[in-house]
Structure 1
Amino acid sequence: MPILSVPEAELRSRTSLKWHTYDPDVLPMWVAEMDTELHPAVREVLLGAIERSDTGYPYGTAYAEAFAAMAGARWNWDLDVPGQVRRAGDVMNSVLAALDATTSPGDAIVINPPVYPPFQQVVSGYRRHICEAPLTAAGRLDLGALEAAFAGPDHPRAYLLCSPHNPTGAVHTADELAAVMALAAQHGVQVITDEIHACLVDPGTPFVPLLTVPGGEAAISVTSAGKAWNLAGFKAGLIVAGAAATKVLAALPPLAQQSTGHLANLAHTAALTRAQGWIDEIVVEIAANKQLLASELSARLPEVAYTPSAGTYLAWVDCSALGLPDPSRHFATVGRVAFSPGVNFARSHKQWVRVNLACSPELVVEGVRRMAASA
C-alpha cells in the first residue's frame, strides 16, 4: 500500500495544526505535515517507552550516530561523532542557537527570498536584521546577488541557506555550493544551512550536503529526521559543524543542547536506523504527485504556472495570470482549499501559493478541482 494513502476521513480525526486551522469543509494543503501513518518501527519504539514509563530526559549520542550512519551510506559523508554533531531542539531553534554562537545583536544576516518564513522571523525576532539576496526568476541561487549582499554596506556576519530550498524545491548543485562557500570565505560570512529536507529529493537527483563541498568545512548544518518521517510532533534536531567550525559547538547557548525531548530522541533515532526504506518509497510517490499536479493544472487551469522541482514535497505555484488580488485567500474562501500564501515567503510573491503534495493523489486532484471551480 502506498505511504500517501491515508483516507481523508481518518486524517480529519487528527488534532494537529494542518487539520484544525481551517473549517472542516476546507481541504488543507498548506503547512508541511505529511498525510502518513507513523512508521511501524517508530511506533514500536515509542509504545515500548510508554509501556515501561521511560519518559525522562534524553541520554547518549544514538541519534547523532544514526544520522552519521545514514549520511555515510546515502551521501558518502564521513562524520565524527561526537566531535562534529550535537543533539539539539528542532531545526529553527538550532538555527537560532547557531546564530547566537556566531553573530551579535545588530548584525546583518543574509537570506534568499522567497524563503521559509521562519528564516525571516528568527533574524528579525532576535535583534538581527535581514539582508536579502533574492533567488533568480527560475528559483535558484543567484551568486551575483549573493556576492553583492556579502560585499555590501551591511557587512553581514552570517548567511542562512535553505538546502533543498523551501519553497522552490531547488536542489543546489555541488558547484553552486562550492561557489557559495568561496564567497563566504572571501567576505568572512558564516554559512548556516538548514538541510531538514535533505532526504526528500526526487530519485535520480543527488543531494549534496554543504559540509562535503570544498570550503564546506567552515559551515554549520542543522537538520532533523522530523520532516522526512513526519515527526514534527517530536522535537529533536542536530547541529553539525564542519571540521573547521567545531569551535562553534563550544559557543552554543547553554540550553541549546538540552531542548531535545527523550521520546523525540527515541523516535528520530528509530526512523534513521530502522526506516530508511520509507525514504526510498515516499520520494517516488512525491515525484509522481508533482507530475500529477502539473498535469491537472495544465488541464484545468492552464493559466497557472508550475514547474516540478526535485526537492521537498512542496510545489511553488504562480497564479499571477488569474488576476486575483490574493490567490491564497481566494482559494481558501471560495474554492475551500488552503495553500500557504506566497507573500509569507517574499513580499514580491503575493501572487504565488505553496502547495503541500505529501498527500494522496486523490487529494491532489481534488485540490486542483477546487481551484478551478473557484477561478
Structure 2
Amino acid sequence: MSVMVSVLDAQRTRTSEKYTTYPPEVLPMFVAEMDSVPAEPVREALERAIRNGDTGYVGHTRVLPEVFADFAGRRWGWDVDPDLVRTTTDVSVAAVEVLRRIIDPGDQVVLMPPVYPPFWEYVREAGGSATEVPLLAPDGEPDPFDTTAGWRMDLAAIERAFAGGARTVLLCNPHNPLGLVHAREDLVALARLAAQWDAVVVSDEIHAPLVHADAVFTPFLTCGPEAVEHGVALTSASKAWNLAGTKCALMVGGSERARGWFDGLPGEVVERTGILGYTASVAAFRDGEPWLASLLAELTGNRRILAEELGTAVPGAGYRQPQASYLAWLDLRALPWGDDPAVHLVDAAKVALTNGRDFGRPGIGHARLNFGCSEATLREGLARLASAR
C-alpha cells in the first residue's frame, strides 16, 4: 500500500503551507512537506493522546531521549547518551539557541551554499555573521543516473575561514538541497580542523532517516573524539515522518562541554516542546521503521523516474539523484527562464518549485523540486514542466 495520497485530495483536506500558499490550479512541489499518510503507530499515538486529553505542557521525561538513542544505535551504530539529549520545538529553534550558547555577537559562522535558506536567518538571529564557503561542485555535466556523490566540502576553504576568525560551522548533514550524504572521511577531517582551531560544528541531521540504500549516513558525533568534543547534533522525526507541525526536535551532545551549553539554555527552550510532537516522535522512532521503509521504497522509485524522464520532459535540465531525502536539485541554467526559474514556472507551467537563488549564489538558475508525492503527481509535474515556454 502506498504511503502517499493524491495531491488533489491533500489540497481539499489539508491547511498547511504546502496546500494553501498557491491557488489550487498550481501543483505544489516546493516546501518540504510530503503528500503522505501518517505512519500508523504515529496516528494511533496521537489519537490516543487526543482521546485522553493529553494535550497540555510537555512533561519532564526521558522517554524520547531513550527511544531516540535506541533508534540511533539500531540504524547508525551511534551510541547516544540520553542524558545529553534535550528537546525543543523544532530544528530551527534548536539551531538558533545552540548557536547563542556557542558564539559571541558578531562571530563568524561558516555556511556551505547551496544550503537550506533559513541557515542565514539562524545565524543572524543568534547574533552571528555568516561566512560562506560554497561546496565544491562535481566536474563535468551532471549524469542523472549518478547520485550527488561528487559534491564535497571545501575543507581548505573552511580552514582559511577558521584562520580568518570563524569558530563555528553550521553543517547540513545530509545536505539540503542536494541530498548529499557527506563522506565519513570529510566529516572526520572537519572535526579535526575544528579541534585544531577550537571551533564548534553544529550539525543539522534532520534528513538522516531518509538516506537511500546506495549511501551510508555518518552522524557527526561518531567521527572521533574531536567530533564529540567539538560538535552538537540537531535532529527530529519531523522530516522523515512528515510531522513538522507537531513541533518537536532534539539537541544531542556527546561531551561535558555540550552539557554545559544545554544547561545554559533558557528553560523555555525545552518547555516549548509540543507535547503532541513529543508523543509522535516517540512513536516514530520506536515503531515507525516499517512505514519508513515503505516510504523510502516509493521515494527511490520517484528519484529514478526523474532520472529517466526529466531530460526528455525538459531538455537541458541537469539533475543528479539525491542520496537522501525527497528533494531534487534541478540545474535549469541552460533554459531561457532566467536566474530564478521557479518564478517563471509558477505562471508558465502551474508548478511551484523552491527558488534556487534562496539557497545562496550557487543556486542562481536552479530550483528545488519536492518528489515526496505519488508517482501520478510526479508524472503530472513532469508533464507540466514539459509544457513550459
- Per the alignment, do residues 159 and 253 of structure 1 end up closer, same or farther by CA in structure 2, a change over 3 Å counting? farther
- Residues in 2 aligned to 1:349 and 1:372: alpha-carbon distance in whole angstroms: 22
- The one of 267, 280, 284 equivalent to 2:297 is 284
* 1:364 matched to 2:378: yes
Shift of 1:40: 1.6
Instruction: Indicate the residue corresponding to 2:268 in structure 1.
Output: 255
- 1:139-218 paired onto structure 2 within 5 Å: 139-152=151-164, 155-214=165-224, 215-218=226-229
Q: Distance in 2 between matches of 1:317 and 1:140?
A: 18
- The answer as to 2:356 corresponding to 1:342 is yes
Cα displacement (A) at 1:323: 2.3
Q: Deviations over 1:159-210 (max 9, x none)?
A: 1000000001110111010001011111121110000000001113211100
Question: Shift of residue 144 of structure 1?
Answer: 1.7
With structure 2 as the length reference, what TM-score do the two structures score? 0.93
1:38-187 alignment runs, 5 A limit: 38-59=38-59, 60-82=61-83, 84-138=84-138, 139-152=151-164, 155-187=165-197
Report the 3-state secondary structure (helix = DSSP H, G, I; strand = E; otherwise coil) of the residue aligned with 1:238. strand
Q: What residue is the counterpart of 2:314 in the other structure?
A: 301
Q: In structure 1, what is the Cα distance between the partners aligned to 2:106 and 2:29?
A: 37
Deviation per CA, 1:22-63: give whole Å up to 9, x if none. Answer: 111000000000111111211111111111211112121211
Confirm whether residue 238 of structure 1 aligns to residue 250 of structure 2.
Answer: yes
SS at match of 1:277: helix
Distance in 2 between residues matched to 1:146 and 1:28, nearest whole Å: 36
Q: Which residue of 1 aligns with 2:147?
A: none
CA contact (8 A) 1:343 1:349 kept: yes
For residue 264 of structure 1, report the CA deviation from its aligned partner.
Answer: 1.2
- Moved >3 Å (runs of 4+): none
Instruction: Tell me how far apart the structure 2 counterparts of residues 300 and 347 of structure 1 sit (CA, whole Å).
Output: 26
Larger mean CA deviation between 243-252 and 272-281 belongs to 243-252
AA at the equivalent of 2:320: T
Q: Look up the SS of the partner of 1:53 in the other structure.
A: coil
Does the Cα contact within 8 Å between 2:115 and 2:176 map onto a contact in 1? yes
Q: How far off is 1:145 after superposition? A: 1.8
Assess if the C-alpha contact under 8 Å between 2:96 and 2:125 holds in 1: no
The answer to whether the 8 A contact 1:103-1:158 is kept is: yes
**What's the secondary structure of 1:229's corresponding residue?**
coil
RMSD, matched Cα? 1.2
- Distance apart, 1:292 and its partner CA: 0.5
Shift of 1:251: 2.1
Given residue 110 of structure 1, which amino acid in structure 2 is its aligned partner? Answer: V
TM-score, normalised via structure 1 length: 0.96
Separation in structure 2 between the aligned mates of residue 58 and residue 148 of structure 1, nearest angstrom: 43
Q: Deviations over 1:264-316 (max 9, x none)?
A: 11111111111111222211211211111121112222200001121121000
What's the % identity of the aligned pairs?
41
Residue 10 (structure 1) shift? 1.2
Partner of 1:19: 19
Letter in 2 for 1:231: L
Residue-by-residue CA offset, 1:195-244 (whole Å, 9 max, x unaligned)? 00000011132111000011221210011001100001100011101235
* SS of equivalent residue, structure 1 residue 125: helix
- State the 1:336 CA deviation: 0.2
Q: Is the 8 A contact 1:101 1:253 kept in 2?
A: no
Aligned residues: 371
Partner of 2:143: none
Give, in whole Å, the separation in 2 of the partners of 1:287 and 1:275.
Answer: 18
Moved more, 334-343 or 280-289: 280-289
Classify the secondary structure of the residue corresponding to 2:82: coil
3-state DSSP of counterpart to 1:31: coil
CA distance in structure 2 between the aligned counterparts of 1:349 and 1:49, rounded to whole angstroms: 43
Partner-residue secondary structure (3-state), 1:317: strand
CA distance in 2, matches of 1:259, 1:252: 12
2: CA distance, partners of 1:296 / 1:43: 35
Counterpart amino acid of 2:73? Answer: G
Q: How far apart, CA to CA, are the structure 2 residues paired with 1:127 and 1:249?
A: 18
Q: Secondary structure at the match of 1:322?
A: coil
The question of whether the paired residues in 2 share the 8 Å contact of 1:115 and 1:345 is answered with: yes
Unaligned runs of 5+ in 2: 139-150
Question: 1:228 is matched with which residue?
Answer: 240
